[in-house]
């Protein structure tokens, strides 16, 4: 018994603010299996006062935690690390005081992803109330910012579409192998990408089932400036893309297809990608001629990538697949946690895909 108490005391006291929000449930599921985490505090305005199992039925009989109303001082007193999984605006208000109190914060909303505060009224229809946090926050895509994450105390977890696009494009752009003005990104997303709170007509079963639709067409989707921001850093110049997301009738998963015109003749791009991601355990580069599917990564923190060249048009086509709730959200947040605390990057994240 004493050993168990010592082990618990050595674990990181962790809280999830907005456990019933997008990615919050998956975050809780993964954190309770993490060997270095003691999940102490979960909040939900909808389920306040009710057991965690009321918000997340998979926890019935598995957790004594009760959902609470978020209280900043409670989070400070009871946690070392806080995940902010609430709606837009929560991190703007809460991250600063939490950091000032010596806590580490990982925000899985979009509050801290864009470095330009002026972009928020345009893309999110809100004024950014804490612009000083935007420069402090480390953008949490480990494959691009691993060294910065190792010393971070404030992390902005990337968008799910963004992760699939950046991992597919970065090796080509950083090697100057494509004409960036020709970049086109098409992404297909499962319905869980909208989060549990979306009750609009578009998300009714009878509307989604046996149908597929584009949305945010014409450069209107909120992930567009995030993709362009990170690609511009990779390229060292301003990058603009054409990005079109699509809703498809599956629960979880993102399949992204990237098109771009090559500079010069095609080369062995599979080797290029494998070299670029050699130190990134969650990026899997498939053999030449193989392409990924969302089912291959369901429930995992992996992003599978396949590369093909259309020699007739001299265009490269890169297809990436990931689980929007894991590598696209919660798993990536835990990957960031591991880097921040000096744990092996794969800790708590080595699960294989659920199959079939």
Contacts of 186 (CB under 8 A, 6+ apart): 244, 246, 256, 257, 258, 259
**160 among known catalytic residues:** yes
Write down how long the chain is.
Answer: 356
Q: What is the rounded CA–CA span in Å between residue 160 and residue 162?
A: 5
Catalytic pick from 67, 79, 160, 303?
160
> Do the bridges between strand 154-156 and strand 138-139 make them parallel or antiparallel, or are there none, so unpaired?
parallel
187 φψ region: left (φ > 0), alpha (ψ -120 to 50), beta (else): beta
The answer to whether residues 98 and 41 touch, using CB atoms and an 8 Å cutoff, is no
What spatial distance separates the first Cα and last Cα of the chain, rounded to whole Å? 40
Contacts of 227 (CB under 8 A, 6+ apart): 161, 162, 165, 166, 185, 241, 243
Q: What are phi and psi of 155, to 5 degrees?
A: -125, 135
Catalytic (active-site) positions: 160
């Amino acid at each position: 018994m004493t050993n168990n108490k010592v082990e618990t005391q050595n674990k990181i006291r962790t809280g999830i603010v907005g456990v019933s929000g997008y990615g919050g449930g998956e975050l809780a599921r993964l954190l309770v299996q993490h060997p270095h985490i003691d999940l102490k505090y979960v909040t939900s305005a909808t389920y306040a006062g009710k057991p965690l199992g009321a918000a997340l039925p998979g926890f019935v009989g598995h957790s004594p935690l009760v959902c609470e109303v978020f209280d900043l001082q409670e989070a400070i007193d009871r946690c070392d690390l806080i995940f902010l999984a609430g709606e837009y605006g929560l991190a703007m208000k809460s991250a600063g005081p939490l950091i000032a109190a010596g806590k580490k914060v990982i925000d899985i909303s979009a509050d801290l992803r864009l470095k330009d505060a002026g972009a928020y009224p345009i893309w999110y229809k809100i004024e950014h109330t804490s612009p000083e946090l935007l420069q402090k926050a480390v953008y949490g895509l480990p494959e691009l910012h691993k060294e910065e994450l190792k010393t971070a105390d404030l992390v902005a977890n990337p968008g799910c579409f963004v992760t699939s696009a950046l991992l597919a494009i970065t090796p080509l752009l950083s090697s100057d192998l494509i004409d960036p003005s020709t970049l086109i990104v098409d992404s297909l997303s499962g319905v869980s990408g909208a989060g549990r709170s979306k009750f609009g007509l578009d998300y009714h079963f009878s509307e989604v089932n046996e149908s597929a639709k584009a949305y945010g067409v014409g450069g209107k989707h909120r992930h567009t400036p995030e993709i362009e921001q990170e690609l511009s850093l990779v390229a060292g110049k301003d990058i603009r893309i054409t990005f079109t997301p699509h809703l498809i009738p599956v629960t979880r998963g993102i399949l992204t297809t990237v098109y771009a015109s090559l500079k010069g003749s095609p080369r062995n791009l599979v080797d290029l990608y494998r070299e670029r991601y050699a130190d990134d355990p969650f990026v899997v580069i498939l053999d030449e001629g193989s392409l990924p599917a969302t089912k291959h990564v369901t429930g995992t923190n992996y992003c599978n990538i396949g590369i093909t060249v259309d020699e007739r048009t001299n265009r490269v086509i890169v297809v990436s697949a990931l689980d929007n709730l894991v590598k696209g959200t919660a798993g990536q947040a835990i990957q960031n946690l591991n880097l921040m605390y000096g744990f092996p990057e794969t800790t708590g994240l080595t699960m294989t895909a659920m199959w079939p």
